[in-house]
Chain A
Amino acid sequence: MTDKVSFIKQVTKALGRSKMIRPTENYATAIFDDRHLASANAVQAVTDADSMSASLIEQMVQSADEAGWKVHRTDNFEESAELIVSICKDHNANSVLRSAHSVLTDIPLDSALTASGAVLEVTEHSSESSIQQIQKSKSAAFRADVGITGVDYAVAETGTVVLHPRAGVSRLLSLAPPTHIAVLRPGDVLASLDELFAIQRDDFLNGELQGSMNLISGPSKTADIEGTTVTGIHGPLEVHLIIIENNKS
């Protein structure tokens, strides 16, 4: 059985040294950037996302479309809720699940969906949820027709929606149902992956790194059979991105 010490010792030896030395600088990796620099980068990313939100949204619309999202732009919260209902109707959705993201309560989604007759489940449980309740939620995600989430960040460079986990069942909502709808607020669009990871690094250095992060850039796809691209292999076949242009009811 190998232990950590002897494993690492073997690596040190292979590097031609008798003792491990700690590097102190390198121009290419960001690991030597101190907290101030990391913080400054993160702040810049967020500031730019806000000040350039109009142009970043235009970029996002294009890159998301190229990545395979069905992109919709709405003017206000109500329109957004209506649009979601109409997408669900198009898919004859009976069972709809949504995450606990705040944007999904900002828009009058629950009432609109209930009114339309779709069975809406909100997967927010308390810490006292039983194992059975949790299992039930997971199974519901596999049975659902549509999964709805918010968007924590979007990345204009790549047409990417970034999701952090929410309380309850949230990872599966953008993965298991055949249709996924993501709702994006302006001001959450970052220019590129550099900005996204700058924010993550800053969060990490502040002890606030989330347990996981998922970057989603279009519908699930594969080209493993004869090089032909097919969508919807394990994840959703169809993904919709709703961009609410104004924070208005």
Chain B
Amino acid sequence: MKPLTINFRSKAAQTIVDEQVQNSLEHVYTGFYQGRLNAAADTPNWEELRTKGKAIKDHTIAHLDHYLDMLSGKVEENGGTVFFADNADEARQYITKLAKDRDIATVIKAKSMVSEEMSLAENMNDAGFEAVETDLGEYIIQLAGETPYHLIAPAVHKSRKDVADLLDKDFTDGDRVPDATELTMLAREQLRDVFARADMSVTGVNFAVAESGSIVLVTNEGNGRMSTSVPRIHVAVMGMEKIVPSIQDLSTMLRILIRSATGQRISTYVTMVNGPKTPDEEEGPDEFHLVIMNNGRHKLLRDPLLRESLNCIRCGACLNACPVYRKVGGHAYGWVYPGPIGAIVTPVITGLKDASDLPAASSLCGACHEACPVKINIPRMLLELRHRTAEGLSDPNERTSKFSERAIWKAWRIGMMGRGRFDWGARIGYLFMRPFSINGWMKKAPPPISGWTLSRDFPLIARESLKSRLNRRHKKDV
């Protein structure tokens, strides 16, 4: 997917004033966010599970080479085929060639953000295959020609009317917009046919178990199960970091993933696939392919401070907790992964230069860190990326700060390095600002803080510093 991170500010500005999307984003808080809080309260050892989950992922990433080696060996032992893709193009080419070589006509897709990195459905449709998204949310946005808006609720921004128009323009009867059930049943009907004739499926992977070569899919709808039962070829695509070492680790990981994502105790379906079908089974794929993709993740891996972002299990809890995401929506982030985790992963993978607004778009409130089931310290990484865009010390290409901004902080530093100038600077500021203020507040602040007064009054600097006031009260110096 071509990154459009450069459009962050304009997309954000559009979304903030879009009332319908703002209403939809409210659901993200009342539904998913509250759901996680309720589930956490309901789970007596929740904090223990988070600690354990973090430790499992820390260990796995710290030995990712070893576990990739183990996983791929096991998958092949089980009769599957593993393809290592350095980048999205390679992955897409492999899958497309496979489909061609096997005379595939219809490809069904289920639950894969990684496939969005390679714009798989779009490209396969262009190449003459019928590639259909089967997750209801993904199906809706495929019909709309859009990209996902949220990690687990891709069509969260669409209204019922939007959906009705997409599913069938003639479906709306007069002014009445069909309810969610009618629309869902219509989608079920439309996709049933597709399932029955699908020859190949492409799914994502929630967890790949290294010791047994198993992949695990978490869904609520059943399209994941359809994908692993009906077609003769099943291709699973994964980011290289989605590994857990042991089958037993799944009980911890499934609990923290699902409860953090939707608040459910467990998703309706959890499917564990250990390779192609066994000889005495009749349904199930004859062929199982696992595509393990890097696509820039080594850039996160090689940086000890950013490495933790690879612990992400893609639950979306950070999005739901983020006051910025809930205002700007998913598309503003310009690539596959929105929200706080997107603000780390997207710039590093697609280029910090064009994506410098992403780590800047945060009040550093820490709600993401608090929400993360594996305790990823996102604010700390945002600060690191801001350091790179501001000063570019290790890579000058990453510096995007303007000369004026650098000059301001230089002046700030000079002003803070001595008490005398600190006081003088403040008193001069007071004198300048006073004529423009009433009762200690200004309607229009001067640059560089003029953005403030677009929507808020700005307070006047004090006439007298605290130091001066305390000294007047005869407080002793140290």
- Asked whether the complex places CB atoms of A and B closer than 8 A, the reply is yes
**A102-126 CB contact bits vs B (8 Å, 1 = yes)?**
0000000000000000000001010
Chain B 51-87 residues near chain A, CB threshold 8 A: 52, 55-56, 59-60, 62-66, 68-69, 72, 82, 84-86
Q: Within 8 Å of chain A (Cβ to Cβ): is B153?
A: yes
List of B residues within 8 angstroms of A28 by Cβ:
52, 55-56, 59, 249
Residue of A13, A28, A169, A216 most packed against chain B (CB within 10 A) = A28
Q: Within 8 Å of chain A (Cβ to Cβ): is B221?
A: yes
Contact A172 B230, CB 8 Å, known A204-B211, A234-B223:
yes
Asked if residues A220 and B221 are in contact (CB atoms below 8 Å), the reply is yes
Chain A 70-103 residues near chain B, CB threshold 8 A: none
User: What is the CB-to-nearest-CB distance from A159 to chain B, in angstroms, rounded to a whole number?
Assistant: 7
Asked if residues A193 and B301 are in contact (CB atoms below 8 Å), the reply is no
Asked if residues A235 and B269 are in contact (CB atoms below 8 Å), the reply is yes
Q: Within 8 Å of chain A (Cβ to Cβ): is B142?
A: no
Q: Within 8 Å of chain A (Cβ to Cβ): is B155?
A: yes
**A191-218 CB contact bits vs B (8 Å, 1 = yes)?**
0111011101100100001111111111
List of A residues within 8 angstroms of B284 by Cβ:
165, 171, 211-212
Q: Within 8 Å of chain B (Cβ to Cβ): is A51?
A: no
List of A residues within 8 angstroms of B278 by Cβ:
165, 210-211
Asked if residues A224 and B154 are in contact (CB atoms below 8 Å), the reply is yes
Residue of A nearest to B211 (CB): A31
List of B residues within 8 angstroms of A226 by Cβ:
24, 27, 158-160, 180
The CA-CA distance from A4 to B292 in the complex, in Å, is: 10
Chain A 171-204 residues near chain B, CB threshold 8 A: 171-172, 175, 192-194, 196-198, 200-201, 204
User: What is the CB-to-nearest-CB distance from B3 to chain A, in angstroms, rounded to a whole number?
Assistant: 22
User: What is the CB-to-nearest-CB distance from A89 to chain B, in angstroms, rounded to a whole number?
Assistant: 24
Residue of A nearest to B266 (CB): A158
List of A residues within 8 angstroms of B281 by Cβ:
165-168, 170-171, 211
**A1-42 CB contact bits vs B (8 Å, 1 = yes)?**
111100111111111100011110011111101000010010
List of A residues within 8 angstroms of B135 by Cβ:
224
The CA-CA distance from A6 to B248 in the complex, in Å, is: 30
Q: Which of B66, B244, B250, B279 contacts A20 (CB 8 A)?
A: B66
The stretch that binds B, out of A52-60, A132-140, A145-153, A241-249, is A132-140
Interface size on B (CB < 8 Å)?
A: 96
Q: Within 8 Å of chain A (Cβ to Cβ): is B188?
A: yes
List of A residues within 8 angstroms of B395 by Cβ:
none
Asked if residues A212 and B274 are in contact (CB atoms below 8 Å), the reply is yes
Asked if residues B273 and A11 are in contact (CB atoms below 8 Å), the reply is no
List of B residues within 8 angstroms of A160 by Cβ:
266, 270
List of B residues within 8 angstroms of A196 by Cβ:
251
Asked if residues A175 and B225 are in contact (CB atoms below 8 Å), the reply is yes
Asked if residues B136 and A235 are in contact (CB atoms below 8 Å), the reply is no
Chain B 247-285 residues near chain A, CB threshold 8 A: 247-251, 254-255, 265-284
The CA-CA distance from A61 to B86 in the complex, in Å, is: 48
Asked if residues B249 and A127 are in contact (CB atoms below 8 Å), the reply is no
The 6 A-B residue pairs with the shortest CB-CB distance, nearest first, are: A235-B222, A28-B55, A30-B248, A234-B222, A14-B302, A228-B180
Q: A165-B281, A204-B211, A234-B191 are in contact. List 16 more A-B contacts (CB 8 A).
A: A2-B294, A10-B86, A10-B294, A13-B298, A20-B66, A29-B55, A29-B60, A66-B265, A166-B281, A167-B280, A172-B283, A212-B284, A214-B271, A214-B272, A216-B268, A234-B226
